[in-house]
């Protein structure tokens, strides 16, 4: 992301019955709500014993619906860049040395934020199908990256005499600094899906909270995605579901730290800024394209590319079902 939502996880399945055919639509445990490969209208023998989940699996079996295995574990990775805009910036300026950590900060304007540098994240995910049409999931992981910020500072307004005087104004300064991100992420979500033998429609929602390992930045994000595509089967052991869709992503981040600018004053002293900024993603709509491949009943591979005016996102995922 730059700091986009790190919504990786498992998705849902909707098994639908039509008058002349039993249909199963699987939406697999992939990052960001990506659909898994479809199941087909193949009557499956009813097992002598099975897991408690999914509830109502017997009803699906009576209709000839072959359900995926109920549990899944996997890993997912994301590479993401995006533009962000500032909602709020508070600072405390000092000449020659950094302000203390307990000093009160002053809200200032104007402030602008550059595009966020690329971030990368990795997650371990797990899911369970509660019903033939509902799979819930959770994921934990790490994200690393940075946010680049351009602060426009009127030193004369923020640094009163004797530091800045009408007879000897300090002027306007641009302070560029980068805040590193290193967060532990926790994601929860679910997906609803519907389909037939030849197509599917999936709606996914996720909520991610990323807590900084140091006192630098916290991230909260919400992702709602809609995906649609055909369902294809080439061999008994290989199935693929390409898709297109759109995501709504809302990310809110708070970043904190200290930045400095050398030789900012006529006497050669540096300008030090302790800051606290709130930023959010500028483009909330992401157009996506991707595919999920199923290798037998146990393994899934998935890849997705997302694009917005402010950046790009790539997701890859693999999972094992049992």
pLDDT category of residue 281 using cuts at 50, 70 and 90: confident
**Tens of pLDDT along 51-85?**
788 988 888 778 777 778 999 999 999 999 888 77
H or E stretch covering 73: strand 71-82
220: confidence class by pLDDT, cuts 50, 70, 90 = confident
Q: Which of 91-100, 131-140, 182-191, 310-319 is predicted least confidently?
A: 91-100
**Which pLDDT band, with edges at 50, 70 and 90, does 299 fall under?**
very high
CA nearest to 63, candidates 44, 49, 48, 36 = 44
Judge whether residue 284 has pLDDT over 60: yes
CA-closest candidate to residue 72, choices 40, 16, 26: 26
Residue 7 has pLDDT above 70, yes or no: no
Rounded to whole angstroms, how far apart are CA atoms 4 and 27?
Answer: 22
Q: Where are the domains of the chain?
A: 13-321
231 confidence band (pLDDT: 50, 70, 90): confident
pLDDT at 263: 76
CA dist., res. 130 & res. 34, Å (int): 18
* Cα–Cα distance list, 251 to 85, 191, 268 (Å): 11, 20, 40
pLDDT at 36 > cutoff 90: no
Percent of the chain with pLDDT over 90: 28
pLDDT cut 70: percent of the chain above it: 72
pLDDT at 34 over 90: no
Alpha-carbon distance of 55 to 37, in angstroms, equals 21
pLDDT at 103 over 70: yes
The confidence score (pLDDT) of residue 152 equals: 66
* CA–CA distance, 94 with 258 (Å, rounded to integer): 11
User: Do 219 and 250 touch, CB atoms closer than 8 A?
Assistant: no
Provide the pLDDT confidence category of residue 42 given band limits of 50, 70 and 90.
very low
Q: List the one residue out of 19, 84, 47, 4 whose CA is nearest residue 251.
A: 4
CA–CA gap between residue 31 and residue 133 (Å, rounded): 18
Of residues 160 and 289, the one with the higher pLDDT is 289
pLDDT tier, 247 (very low <50, low <70, confident <90, very high otherwise): very high
The residues, ordered by sequence, that sit 6+ positions from 52 with a Cβ below 8 Å of its Cβ are none
Q: Is the pTM of this model over 0.85?
A: no
Instruction: Record the tokens describing residue 295, joined without a space.
Output: 């290798």
Residue keyed to tokens 């595919």: 291
pLDDT at 277 over 60: yes
Which residues are registered as beta bridge partners of 251?
221
The residue whose two tokens read 């790490």 is 142
Reading the block at residue 135, the tokens are: 């799979």
**Length in residues, the chain:** 322
Quick one: average pLDDT of 287-312? 93
């Amino acid at each position: 992301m730059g700091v986009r939502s790190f919504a990786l996880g498992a998705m849902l399945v909707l098994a639908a019955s039509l008058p002349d055919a039993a249909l199963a639509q699987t939406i697999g445990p992939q990052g960001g709500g990506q659909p898994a490969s479809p199941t087909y209208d193949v009557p499956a023998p009813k097992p002598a014993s099975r897991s408690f989940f999914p509830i109502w699996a017997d009803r699906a079996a009576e209709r000839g619906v072959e359900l995926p295995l109920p549990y899944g574990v996997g890993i997912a990775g994301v590479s993401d860049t995006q533009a962000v805009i500032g909602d709020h910036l508070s600072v405390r300026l000092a000449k020659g040395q950094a302000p203390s950590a307990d000093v009160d900060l002053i809200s200032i304007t104007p402030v602008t934020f550059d595009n966020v540098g690329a971030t990368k994240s990795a997650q371990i995910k797990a899911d369970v199908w509660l019903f033939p049409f509902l799979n819930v999931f959770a994921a934990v992981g790490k994200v690393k990256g940075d946010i680049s910020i351009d602060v426009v500072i009127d030193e004369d307004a923020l640094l009163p005499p004797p530091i800045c005087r009408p007879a000897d104004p300090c002027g306007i300064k641009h302070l560029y600094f980068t805040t590193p991100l290193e967060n532990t992420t926790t994601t929860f979500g679910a997906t609803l899906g519907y389909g037939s033998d030849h197509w599917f429609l999936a709606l996914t929602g996720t909520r991610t909270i990323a807590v900084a390992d140091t006192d630098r930045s916290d991230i909260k994000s919400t992702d709602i995605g809609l995906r649609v595509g055909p369902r294809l089967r080439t061999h008994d052991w290989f199935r693929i579901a390409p898709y297109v869709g759109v995501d709504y992503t809302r990310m809110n981040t708070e970043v904190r730290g200290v930045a400095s600018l050398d030789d900012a004053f006529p006497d050669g002293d540096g300008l030090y800024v302790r800051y606290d900024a709130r930023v959010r993603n500028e483009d909330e709509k992401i157009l996506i394209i991707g595919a999920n491949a199923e290798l037998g009943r146990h393994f899934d591979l998935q890849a997705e590319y997302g694009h917005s005016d402010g950046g790009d996102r790539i997701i890859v995922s693999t999972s094992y079902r049992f």
